[in-house]
Amino acid sequence: MATFARSRRTRPGSTRRRLSGDATVSPLDRKLLRDLWRIKGQAAAIGAVIAVGVLLLVMMTGLVTSLDETRQAYYERYRLADVFAPVTRAPDSVIDELAALPGVAAAEGRVAGYALVDLEGVDLPIQARVVSLPDFEAPRLNDVFLTGGRSLDPANPDEILLLKGFADARDIRPGESLDVTIRGAQRAFRVVGLVQAPEFLYVTAPGELAPDDARYAVIWMSRATAGAAYDMEGAFNEALISLARDASEPAVLEAVDRVVEPYGGLGAYGLEDHLSDRYVSEEINGLRGTSTIVPPLFLAVAAFLLYIVVSRMVQAEREQIGLMKAFGYTNLEVGAHYFKLILFIAIGGAIVGCLAGIAAGRGMVVLYLQYYKFPFLLFELRPSSFILGFLVSVCAASAGGLLVLRGVFALTPAVAMRPPAPADYSRTGRVGQAIARLLDQPSRMVMRRVTRQPLRMGGAVLGIAAGMALAAAMTSVMSGFGRTMDLNFNVIDRSDLTVSFTDPKSDKTILELQRIPGVIEVEPVRNVSVVLRNGLMTHRGAVGGRVMNPRLNRAVTRDLEGIEMRKEGVILANSLADKLEIAPGEVLTVEVREGRQPVLHLPVIGTTESLLGSPAYMEIDALNRALREPNRVSGASLRIDSARSDAIYRELKDMPAVAAVSLKEDARASLQELMDSGAGAMRYVMAGIAFIITFGIVYNSARIAQAERERDLASLRVLGFSKGEAAFVLLGELAVVMFVALPVGALLGYALSFGIAAGFSSDLYQIPATFGRADFGTAVLAVLGASIASGWLVKRDVDRLELVSALKTRE
């Protein structure tokens, strides 16, 4: 008796089995390893769902860190200005006044302007931006990074530096000559060096949104050379200002405007309104926002799957749980056993996700370098990214597991060792019985399973519907990118090319364009730089003047009907109206930043659908009257005979009034490339992940159904059912669940597509939430493909089922 008493006092949980050396494994840990091996397929699928959630989190947070820190270091090292103040012409002495303003740390003047580059064998003139550098010293602000060749020699006025991206695209090397036309005068310059600069991280031609290295150049020349070319000797037309640490930017902007106003100040603006920084910031903010929404969504799906798997496991192991408790294991020890299983899957998925996130981030960095011209961009991760990935994955998995563990704690040994109460099948009703008479025996078994366990079937339906919703939403977003391209370049812009003039010209210039052989139609435009204000909301952009009924470059309604330009007000893009928080009928303040610079108060008379940029439109004669500059145009949209395009390009190239020519097909190709291989490539990554998750969810549902019905299937085989008939009972249930899940997934996908489309939209382009039949069909095919693959894997295991072992399992 004493021996028996001692054995009772010995804790079973302390029993150990010695393995190699001093290593010991408890009985519960051995059971854990057996359970993991038994559900290895389901564990791998759930781990994969967790891994892709952590992958996205690590990749996106790493990209945000890499882009943001590299940008800040680049700006600081090369002293990028905080404020830009363009003027018409101001004497150099004004720089001293600007430097003396409160909050200003440094100020410098420079000459900047536009030019055309004439390349041999290229019919169209290439637009260029010209920027001056100090003659005998390094610039105090906006320095350049020399990547090849040497710096400018002040003694040689014919030397220039060239932006590396353009030089690489056109295969131009230091030592070569370049013909540049400035203010109608052509001059040959010698390229002595290739450079990059922090103010040209995102380089795009005026009036275009997507970068194209081959169609836009940036040229740096000495201050003396640029001053002579633009008639700026002893003067400047752009002031660069850096702020002190405690400076108030709005106050400095207001003070700078007061100083430069007598010299034709065009409105000082901060770095956030600089085109290059704005697009980089938009990309960083978009990644930051997506990283807080999408990964938790995937991890929530993983938590749901873990909840289902572990709850079914606990239900199947009721007797074992009762025995463990009867032998002295505490609730905490039994609960910890199942919690370890959850943690093992979650931590394994997190480790794989972290490693895959690093690899994916390094791949994405290469794509970002194509469009954001950093000297280098290394994928960097903070330790907090790994810690966050682990914490989020473990917490998400634990949230699903803890709900199950409550049931483990509630089970007493006596209750657990009894078989569960028989299910109540009375709810099927007469309708179910009537349908059952029309079916054969295997089909009736499928129907009974579906109708008698609605909660379990509902969980499986929701799981598969969630996977389909992710796939459908991502397919919808990919279709939205295509719709953006089609709407802008086929519906809104129906021209072949756009011509920009050096400065606003008389409308008689349009007659010169119409007389060019091969030009079919010409439509004048007037684009004016403005700052739009509605209370505290502001937007720096342009107002585009259009003819009353434009045909080549239109504003359209949501139904894609053309909008007539009315004389009494302004029409805003929907995205711009949302940004300014203004609606039709309200008055908008328009601060013109050219010419006499009037301040206009115009009513908003309508909105237009625009998926590229944030345009604002007025009737061209009404705009000219408001500016008190009648009969002026700044460019034109042309429709031409493609057979005569080369001759037309040469004619335009020789016109001194033409500052730039932009082909619609070139702009479309640039934007398409940006969407496909630049920042927009993220949608392909997420679409692939969504389809992987869809397979993981369907596979888990099939495996759970197989585990629950293993004894039933073995009984059918013993009773004489063939392998195919036994598999039909299981796969028929999966098929019913799948077909019920399809419409549910479609509704969820439709709702989810709006959120994901908004996440991908930016100032550069807006992605509409389209959900058409093709999107639904693609998602259905994904679910069907995942179901077929999962069904084949499950049927293979059913065919290999050991009947004796399965039949020994108690109900």
pLDDT tier for residue 219 given thresholds of 50, 70 and 90: very high
Cα–Cα distance between 273 and 763 in angstroms, integer? 12
pLDDT tier for residue 56 given thresholds of 50, 70 and 90: confident
DSSP reduced 3-state for 803 = helix
How confident is the model over 763-777, as pLDDT tens digits? Answer: 666 777 777 777 777
pTM for the full predicted model: 0.75
The total of other beta-carbon atoms located within 10 Å of residue 545's CB is 25
How confident is the model over 310-353, as pLDDT tens digits? Answer: 776 676 677 777 778 777 888 788 878 878 888 888 888 888 88
Question: Is it the case that residue 105 has pLDDT exceeding 90?
Answer: yes
Kindly state the tokens that stand for 380.
């960097």
The CATH number of 519-640 is which of 2.60.40, 3.40.50, 2.40.50, 2.40.40? 2.40.40
How confident is the model over 379-393, as pLDDT tens digits? Answer: 877 787 778 777 877
How confident is the model over 440-488, as pLDDT tens digits? Answer: 667 777 776 677 667 767 777 877 787 778 777 777 777 777 777 778 8
Give whichever of 36-40, 416-420, 726-730 has the largest mean pLDDT.
Answer: 36-40
- Whether the CB-CB separation of 524 and 507 falls below 8 Å is answered with yes
Cα–Cα distance between 727 and 795 in angstroms, integer? 6
pLDDT tier for residue 532 given thresholds of 50, 70 and 90: very high
Cα–Cα distance between 571 and 555 in angstroms, integer? 9
Average pLDDT over every residue of 786-805: 73
How confident is the model over 688-716, as pLDDT tens digits? Answer: 666 777 777 777 777 777 776 777 777 77
- Whether the CB-CB separation of 114 and 207 falls below 8 Å is answered with no
- Which of 344, 418, 340, 413 has its CA nearest to residue 28? 340
279 to 133, 199, 282, 462: CA distances (angstroms):
25, 12, 5, 39
Cα–Cα distance between 427 and 436 in angstroms, integer? 14
Ranges of H-type helices in 411-564: 413-417, 429-437, 441-452, 454-486, 508-514
- Which of 55, 63, 230 has its CA nearest to residue 130? 230
DSSP reduced 3-state for 95 = helix
Start and end residues for every CATH 2.40.40 domain found in the chain: 519-640
Average pLDDT, the chain: 81
- Whether the CB-CB separation of 367 and 57 falls below 8 Å is answered with no
Of 203-217, 524-538, 668-682, the range with the lowest mean pLDDT is 668-682
- Whether the CB-CB separation of 500 and 660 falls below 8 Å is answered with yes
The residues, any chain, with a CB within 8 Å of residue 135's CB and separated by 6 or more, are 154, 222, 223, 224
412 to 496, 653, 733: CA distances (angstroms):
79, 90, 33
